[in-house]
Chains A and B, each alone.
Chain A
Amino acid sequence: MQRTILHVDVNSAFLSWEAARRVAAGEKDIRLIPSAIGGSGNKRGSVILAKSVLAKRFGIKTGEPVLMALRKCPKLYLAKPNFKLYSQSSKAFMSVCLKYSAAVEQYSIDECFIDVTNASRIYQSPFSMAEKIKKDINDSLGITVNIGIGPNKLLAKMASGFEGPNKIHTLFLEEISEKLWPLPVRALFSVGRATAQRLEKAFIRTIGELAHTPLCRVQKLTGEKSGLQIHNFANGIDDEPVLTKPKDAKGYSISTTLQKDVVSAETAYEVLLVLADSVTMRMRADSAKAFCVSVTIRDNNFVDKSRQQKLPEPTDITAEVYSISKQLFSKLWDKKTALRLLGISLFDITKQESAQQSFFNDGQKQKLRELDKTIDDIRSKFGADVIARGSLLQSKEDAEG
């Protein structure tokens, strides 16, 4: 049976939610001026997280450094990020969507898929249903959304990405030659910068050209698995169901752009400890463990390097992840290049409760596990900042002193 899927995407979510909050409090609507959500401009890690339509006219892009945005538009109004508000607003957004179908998949904080295959019989057409959802969200939450309608998740998502804000677009199979194929390959969902460059070099420049390239050639260019996927996508094929329960995480990762370049191993180690602490805490909250640890570094030319290590037994222990990260880092770094970003990823995730006995350190491991658990408990009760590793406190004092 032909499915009907909607993809609902909040327009400039962080900015819309902030604006809606202000409007509700009787303040002016920051959507009507050049405005953006971003951290303070003097921190170089701060980037634009969302922008208003007027800010977009100045050429401001999501993800670019705040400093660069201010150069383009010195009058840009900056609002600070407020993740608590986003989390609440996201929940409210999801609960409106859930009124229309039980099959709703939250895809990210500000977008979801709704399977309306059955529900669409109640409404005249999927389009009129989408109009109702759009109006409901606007009336109850004070924000606008784009809605894409398609026979699968991929086409629905591509459709919602067409012109905005506050628009509904359809992208059915009979429409792809007209609406999807003329777009550049990099516009196709899941085609990143590197893949796009590889395709463009092979003179595959539009989604249509990709759709008409023999599969084996695409696979040769981009790899077997990813080649099959993007070739299917370009032809509008996607069988993924709308998942009402989130899939188990495939991995956990964390990275941070540093306020100052890292030029010494000691500083890098301190950053790695903070990252290891945070990422393993998230993993422990899901009762998951990882068989593989990877470290990524980025220099000021935005060149990334990473290295990974497989483990004989999975781990969720901060101290273990930290120790492996240090080893990986020392193999990656040439001891001179200034680094602007460090990251740790954990993958090959398992939820098995492995208790492989070992000749050594079982007592030590148990102690570390108990330590992690105690810290996690304290943080979940009193907040993340109330407890930190001694070595980090010392370096903070040194920096402040």
Chain B
Amino acid sequence: MKITCNTTALTEAVNIVQKAVASRSTLPVLEGILLKASEGKVTLTGNDLEIGIECAIDAQIASEGGVVVNSSLFGNAVRKLSAELVLIEMGSNNIVKIKSGGSEITLTGINAGEFPEIPKFETEYDIVLTQREIKKLIRHTIFAVGTSEAKLILTGCLLEAAENNVNMVAIDGFRLALKKISTEKASVSGYLGDVGIVIPSKTLKEINNIADESDDNVIIRCSQKNIRFEFGNVIMTSRLLEGDFIDYKKIIPTEWSTKVKADLKALSDAVDRASVVITSEINKSPLCLTIAENTIKITCETSSGKTEEFVPVQTEGNDLEIGFNNKYLLDALKNAEGEEVFLQFTGPVNPCLITPLEGDSYKFIVLPVRLRTE
């Protein structure tokens, strides 16, 4: 293999594929990046066996071929180059020479044949979204994804799509986040079943990091076990989580006994301020919300101090006193959109549903903390 390419493009590609390189592995090849040169392109691949990322850049190919180089070594070397072009050449015994300007770096590579192949699969179901839309779906749900390995399926987000609507749902046991995108552009083809697919949160975090805020397309191709995101010069392949996601529709409350219409920013800021006395996980008390007569009073008391906030709102139905984990409530409010929101309650130990005033572009459910006085 012998190629010449642009140093900046190569550095960007390395930064992208490194997200799928195992940082520590018993197999040295998994700590590497595969460089493969053919047909005017050099493709870089990282694969930690859960996620595989391929990124292709233009290159002048003097001779085709491939080799695996240690990711952190290669990355450190390439990032420090200052000349515009870089030449990469593989000699005998997988010795890789990197020449750029007056620099020459020689690394020991690994035979390309040892690199694990990224699973190829027949796609059963395709979704097209813009990069901005996929980022939005991810950002507004991933905060509520589960972290407990005891419920592995909840460490991922559920993706559902029908016609021009795409839903993403995350549940960690204490809250739920649902984000819906419906656009002209969102197009879905094929059929994967009624239950949707569950994408590991790590995969989604990396997509969110790599994708930009543009209207360029992301093509999402799915099978029962794998998913592939194709956008720009990047292809990311990931396995899916197997198992049945919770039937989340059943836990979305349909009735209410107390309903609040609130200015989103005013409420969110008040919750944030009321939380200042919560200095750590250990020194934590629930926020107490007292809802009555067009006001929400928020109080919190810990060993560090006491806070009290009054937020004018519009209330309907019963008065209510209810406790919340400040983080869970704040996460939901920060990810809500629009100037105003509805909060619906059915009692002090039942879920709180947060929705926009109109439409159904998001639904957040936060479960309360039972207050001691009850």
Instruction: Give chain A's interface residues, CB within 8 Å of chain B.
Output: 291, 312-313, 323-324, 327, 348-350, 352-360
Nearest 3 A-B pairs (CB), nearest first?
Answer: A355-B370, A357-B367, A350-B282
A359 and B285 form a contact (CB under 8 A): no
Query: In the complex, A324 Cα to B149 Cα: how many Å?
Result: 9
User: B302: nearest residue on chain A (CB-CB)?
Assistant: A352
B358 to chain A, nearest CB (A): 27
Distance (whole angstroms) from the CB of B50 to the closest CB of chain A: 16
A residues near B367, Cβ cutoff 8 Å: 356-359
Q: Which residues in A have their C-beta under 8 angstroms from that of B147?
A: 312
Stretch at the interface among B103-111, B170-178, B184-192, B336-344: B170-178
Instruction: Give B244-298 interface residues, CB cut-off 8 Å to A.
Output: 246, 251, 281-286
Given known pairs A312-B172, A312-B174, A327-B150, the reply for A356 and B284 (CB within 8 Å) is no
- What chain A residues lie within 8 Å of B246 (beta carbons)? 359
Extra 17 A-B pairs, beta carbons < 8 Å, given A348-B281, A350-B282, A350-B283? A291-B281, A291-B282, A312-B172, A324-B150, A327-B149, A350-B284, A353-B372, A355-B369, A356-B174, A357-B349, A357-B367, A357-B370, A358-B173, A358-B174, A359-B171, A359-B173, A359-B251
Q: Are A357 and B251 in contact (CB under 8 A)?
A: no
CA of A165 to CA of B324 in the docked complex: distance in angstroms?
58
Expressed in whole angstroms, the minimum distance between the Cβ of B359 and any Cβ of chain A is: 25
Interface flag for B325 (CB, 8 Å): yes
A348-B282, A350-B282, A353-B372 known; A359-B149 Cβ under 8 A? no
Q: How far, in whole Å, are A348 and B176 apart by their CA atoms in the complex?
A: 26
CB nearest neighbor in A for B348: A357
Contact check, B150 vs A323: say whether CB atoms are below 8 A apart: yes
A352 with B284: CB separation less than 8 A: yes
Asked if B148 is an interface residue, CB under 8 A from chain A, the answer is: yes
CB nearest to A349 among chain B residues: B282
Q: List 5 contacting pairs A-B, 8 Å CB cutoff, sorted by A.
A: A291-B282, A312-B172, A356-B367, A357-B350, A359-B176
Q: Complex formed: what's the CA distance from A356 to B327 in Å?
A: 12
Quick check: is B200 within 8 A (CB to CB) of the other chain?
Answer: no
Q: In this assembly, does B368 line the interface, its C-beta being within 8 Å of a C-beta of chain A?
A: yes
The chain A residue with its CB closest to the CB of B282 is A350
In the bound complex, residues from chain B placing their C-beta under 8 Å from that of A291 are 281-282
Q: A354 and B369 in contact (CB under 8 A), knowing A359-B174, A359-B251?
A: yes
A199 to B350 Cα, complex, angstroms: 57
**Complex CA distance for A30 and B172, rounded to whole angstroms:** 61
With A and B bound together, what is the CA distance between A238 and B155 in angstroms?
A: 47
CA separation between A349 and B171, bound complex, in Å?
A: 26
Q: Count B-side interface residues using an 8 Å CB cutoff.
A: 26
Residues in B lying within 8 Å of A, measured CB to CB: 147-150, 171-174, 176, 246, 251, 281-286, 325, 349-351, 367-370, 372
Give the residue among B173, B176, B370 with the most A Cβ atoms within 10 A: B173
Output the least CB separation between A80 and chain B (Å).
40
Contacts of A353 in B (CB 8 A): 372
The residue on A at minimum CB distance from B328 is A356
Report the bound CA distance from A215 to B285 in whole Å: 38
A357 touches B282 (CB 8 A): no
Q: Which residues of B contact A359 (CB under 8 A)?
A: 171, 173-174, 176, 246, 251, 367
Q: Do the beta carbons of B281 and A356 come within 8 Å of each other?
A: no
Let me know if B285 and A352 touch, CB within 8 A: yes
Distance, CA A358 to CA B328, complexed state (A): 12
Residue of A nearest to B372 (CB): A353
Q: Kindly report which residue of chain A lies nearest to residue B150, judged by CB atoms.
A: A323
In the assembled complex, which residues on chain A have CB atoms less than 8 Å from the CB atom of B285?
A: 352
CB nearest neighbor in B for A348: B282
Whether B171 contacts A356 by the Cβ 8 Å rule is: no
How far is B350's CA from A354's CA once the two chains are assembled, in angstroms?
A: 16
How far does the alpha carbon of A312 sit from the alpha carbon of B325 in the complex, in Å? 11
Interface centre among B176, B351, B370 (most CB of A within 10 A): B370
Closest beta carbon of chain A to B290's beta carbon, Å: 18
- On chain A, the residues within 8 Å of B173 by CB distance are 312, 358-360
Contacts of B174 in A (CB 8 A): 312-313, 356-359
Q: A312-B148, A312-B172 are in contact. Are A357 and B281 (CB under 8 A)?
A: no
Q: What distance in Å separates the Cβ of A309 from its nearest Cβ neighbour in chain B?
A: 9
CB distance from B176 to the nearest CB of A (A): 8
Chain A residues near B350 (CB, 8 Å)? 357
Min CB distance A401 to B, Å, is 34
Task: Name the distance in Å between B147's Cβ and chain A's nearest Cβ.
Answer: 7
Q: Give the shortest distance, in Å, between A356 (CB) and chain B (any CB).
A: 5
A353 CA / B251 CA spacing, docked (Å): 25
- How far is it, in angstroms, between the C-alpha of A360 and the C-alpha of B247 when the chains are bound? 12
Least CB distance from B277 to A in Å reads 13
Nearest Cβ in chain B — how far from A312, in angstroms? 7
Q: CB distance A356 to B325 under 8 Å? A: yes
**In the docked arrangement, what's the CA distance between A353 and B172, Å?**
21
State the Cβ distance, B71 to closest chain A Cβ, in Å.
Answer: 24
Partner of B281, one of A323, A324, A350: A350
Chain B's nearest CB lies how many Å from the CB of A351?
9
Least CB distance from B110 to A in Å reads 24
For A358, the chain B residues whose CB sits under 8 A away are 173-174, 367
CA distance A170 to B147 in the complex (A): 55
Query: A125 CA to B171 CA in the complex, in Å?
Result: 68
Measured between beta carbons, the chain A residues less than 8 angstroms from B286 are 354
Docked complex Cα distance between A122 and B12 (Å): 78
Question: Which residues of the other chain, B, contact A356 by a CB distance below 8 angstroms?
Answer: 174, 325, 367, 369
